[in-house]
């Protein structure tokens, strides 16, 4: 088959979780698929960065940015012109005018529940998002999603055919869970001004991630755990100024460290140095960072309203994300009990071994072949 993949979000530094997903899928296809040929739709900036992937892969430069009006016009022109047997859109933003066979990956319905400040203020933008998402769900040959949690939401809110929704769990990079050099870890932590024991969060700073709630819980927890620090790995987002405001209002602001984006090599050390990892999200499609923490030997505390109960089961500890006091109490419980932490992390290490990118890619190829 001649397959096109929209790779404009390639790489975690470009689009965090979605970018990592695209990168790992393409890398896996290079290694695993000798039958099909692929055209990758990329930005000019990505063209050289992706490099030469071999004779089965061709890169086509696309001018339009994702989530733009222009992509709704440019992409169909390119796709119809090249007459693909199948197109894979790794995010919901499928051009409405493209009516040939395609597969779409829907990671979560976060924007449906948490539309963000721009969409909240703009009814037409919110309406356009829902129309494009609905088109992607109803017009696709197959839907790939990353958890039963997200599959259930797609069926519930869009009445999608359950038979065409395929769950392919994500994998975890081998760099996490590898033995790490303690001296190198100290050096990496020093680069980010991290000294002493810390609670770790990794991710974006949007409202559905509940960072404000986490900081409030840390303030309570910190009163009896004076040496603890909170490390927030990610970029402050000007669209969500409440996070920076909450940090500045905290009496423990000097012990709240925002690192900015961190590459995988350094992130492995950041995970390895953490005492506990916390994911307080209201909404989460898969929660790959929780898997990365678990395979790094760090106990995971998570909201019980997202996908993590499905992904980690009884090998994580859960809280109500709306209950600040409960979050603080659970943090203190695991922070102060070595046996509890060790028990949780050792159980999780066995659980997360099944999350492998090779499996994700193999299952993705199977979706292509049966679409």
pLDDT digits (tens, 9 = 90+) for 56-97: 999 999 999 988 889 999 999 999 999 999 999 999 999 999
Judging by beta carbons within 10 Å of its beta carbon (0-12, 13-18, 19+), is residue 51 exposed, middle or buried? exposed
Element (H, E) at 169: none
- Pick 109 or 123 by higher pLDDT: 109
Q: Is residue 255 part of a domain?
A: yes
Task: Please state which of the ranges 19-23, 35-39, 124-128, 265-269 shows the lowest mean pLDDT.
Answer: 124-128
Tokens of 5: 């993949």
Q: Is residue 319 part of a domain?
A: yes
What DSSP letter does each residue of 50-70 carry, written as one string? H----TTEEEEE--SPTTSTT
Task: Quote the pLDDT of residue 39.
Answer: 98
For 170-188, the pLDDT digits (tens) are 999 888 988 888 899 999 9
Considering the domain architecture, whether residues 144 and 225 belong to the same structural domain is answered as no
Q: Is the pLDDT of residue 233 over 80?
A: yes
- What count of Cα atoms within 13 Å lies in the side-chain half-sphere of residue 236? 14
Q: Is the pLDDT of residue 290 over 70?
A: yes
Virtual torsion, Cα 217, 339, 281, 185, nearest 10 deg: 90
Considering the domain architecture, whether residues 148 and 233 belong to the same structural domain is answered as no
Task: Quote the pLDDT of residue 6.
Answer: 97
Task: Please state which of the ranges 47-56, 186-195, 234-243 shows the lowest mean pLDDT.
Answer: 47-56
Task: Quote the pLDDT of residue 119.
Answer: 61
Considering the domain architecture, whether residues 259 and 213 belong to the same structural domain is answered as yes
List Cα–Cα distances, 338 to 47, 241, 271, 275, 334, in angstroms: 48, 36, 17, 10, 7
Backbone angles phi, psi at 299, to 5 degrees: -65, 140
- What count of Cα atoms within 13 Å lies in the side-chain half-sphere of residue 334? 27
pLDDT band at 144 (very low <50, low <70, confident <90, very high): very high
Q: Is residue 88 part of a domain?
A: yes
Domain count, the chain: 2
Task: Quote the pLDDT of residue 13.
Answer: 78
- Pick 302 or 17 by higher pLDDT: 302
Q: Is the pLDDT of residue 40 over 80?
A: yes
Q: Is residue 177 part of a domain?
A: no
Give the sheet arrangement for strand 256-260, strand by strand.
Answer: 256-260, 229-233, 198-202, 276-279, 300-303, 317-319
| Nearest to 38, CA basis, from 59, 24, 10 | 59
**Whether the Cβ atoms of residue 60 and residue 42 lie closer than 8 Å to each other:** yes
Q: Is the pLDDT of residue 209 over 90?
A: yes
Percent of the chain with pLDDT over 90: 84
As a whole number of angstroms, the distance between CA 243 and CA 329 comes to: 22
Q: State whether residue 73 is helix, strand or coil.
A: helix
- Mean model confidence pLDDT for the chain: 94
As a whole number of angstroms, the distance between CA 235 and CA 237 comes to: 6
Residues near 366 by beta carbon (within 8 Å), at least 6 away in sequence = none
198 lies in which domain range? 182-354
Degrees, nearest 5: CA angle 342-343-345: 65
Q: Is residue 90 part of a domain?
A: yes
Q: Is the pLDDT of residue 249 over 70?
A: yes
Considering the domain architecture, whether residues 25 and 143 belong to the same structural domain is answered as yes
pTM: 0.93
Tokens of 34: 């000798």
Considering the domain architecture, whether residues 150 and 29 belong to the same structural domain is answered as yes
Considering the domain architecture, whether residues 80 and 219 belong to the same structural domain is answered as no
Q: Is the pLDDT of residue 213 over 70?
A: yes
Task: Quote the pLDDT of residue 121.
Answer: 63
Residue entry with tokens 């001004």: 193
pLDDT band at 285 (very low <50, low <70, confident <90, very high): very high
Task: Quote the pLDDT of residue 193.
Answer: 95
């Amino acid at each position: 088959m001649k397959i096109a993949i929209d790779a404009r979000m390639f790489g975690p530094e470009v689009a965090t979780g979605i970018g990592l997903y695209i990168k790992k899928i393409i890398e896996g296809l290079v290694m695993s698929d000798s039958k099909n040929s692929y055209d990758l739709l990329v930005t000019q900036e990505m063209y050289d960065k992706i490099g030469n992937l071999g004779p089965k892969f061709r890169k086509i430069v696309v001018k339009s940015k994702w989530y733009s009006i222009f992509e709704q016009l440019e992409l169909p022109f390119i796709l119809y012109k090249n007459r693909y047997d199948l197109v894979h859109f790794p995010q919901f933003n499928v051009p409405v005018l493209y009516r040939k066979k395609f597969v779409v990956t829907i990671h979560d319905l976060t924007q449906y529940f948490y539309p963000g400040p721009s969409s909240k203020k703009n009814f037409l933008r919110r309406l356009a998002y829902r129309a494009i998402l609905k088109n992607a769900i109803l017009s696709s040959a197959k839907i790939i999603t990353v958890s039963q949690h997200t599959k259930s939401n797609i069926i519930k809110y869009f009445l999608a055919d359950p038979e065409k929704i395929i769950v392919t769990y994500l994998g975890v990079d081998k760099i996490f869970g590898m033995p790490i050099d303690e001296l190198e870890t100290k050096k990496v932590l020093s680069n980010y001004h991290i000294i002493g024991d810390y609670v770790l969060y990794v991710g974006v700073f949007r409202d559905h991630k509940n960072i404000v709630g986490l900081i409030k819980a840390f303030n309570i927890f910190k009163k009896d755990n004076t040496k603890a620090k909170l490390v927030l790995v990610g970029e402050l987002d000007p669209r969500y100024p409440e996070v920076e405001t909450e940090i500045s209002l905290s009496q423990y602001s000097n012990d709240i460290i925002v690192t900015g984006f961190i590459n995988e090599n350094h992130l492995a050390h950041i995970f390895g140095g953490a005492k506990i990892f916390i994911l307080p999200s209201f909404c989460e499609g898969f929660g790959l960072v929780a898997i990365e923490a678990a395979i790094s030997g760090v106990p995971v505390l998570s909201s019980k309203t997202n996908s993590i109960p499905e992904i980690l089961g009884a090998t994580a500890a859960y809280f109500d994300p709306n209950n600040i006091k409960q979050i603080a109490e659970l943090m203190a419980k695991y922070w102060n009990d070595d046996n509890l932490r060790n028990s949780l992390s050792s159980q999780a290490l066995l659980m997360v071994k099944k999350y492998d990118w090779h499996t994700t890619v193999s299952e993705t190829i199977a979706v292509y072949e049966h679409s």
